Amino acid sequence: MPVVRCEPIVDVDEPVEAEVLVSSRRLSFLGGVDPETGEVVDPSHELCGKVLTDQVLVLPGGRGSTVGSYVLMEMAHRGTAPAGIVVREAEPILVVGCVLGDIPLFHKPERDLVSELDNGDVVRILPGGKVEV
């Protein structure tokens, strides 16, 4: 499998293999995702109705309120968090949420995974900021 190098922000100790959910749009976790179920509930988002739990979320980045960090932390606590997140550019809200929830977060992939991957593709997140696609 080809490997795409990224910058790890919250790295993994062991490989994580999971299906991906891809979006061409940024996602706000506050009001956009139900932390109890992991479901995207923002009716205007292309992933509305999809469940992020145990998926690798691939998107341009996050957006929204600083409380989104705590939503990610709550998702991790409840077991509804994504298995990992790969973004073009991680902003502070996403970084803090992933650090607090110990959710793998990679950014600045050397190739545009948003346009390269499709929902349901399987990837492996590897230590050191590598993603097998």
69 has catalytic annotation: no
User: Encoding tokens for residue 128?
Assistant: 């050191």
DSSP label of 124: E
62 alpha-carbon distance from chain centroid = 9
Which one from 24, 28, 65, 115 is the annotated catalytic residue? 65
Write the DSSP string, 2-57: -EEE-EEEE--SS-EEEEEEE-SS-B-STTTEETTTTEE--TTSTTTT-B-TTSEE
d(CA 72, CA 9): 15
User: Encoding tokens for residue 85?
Assistant: 């997140």
DSSP label of 62: B
Active-site positions read: 65
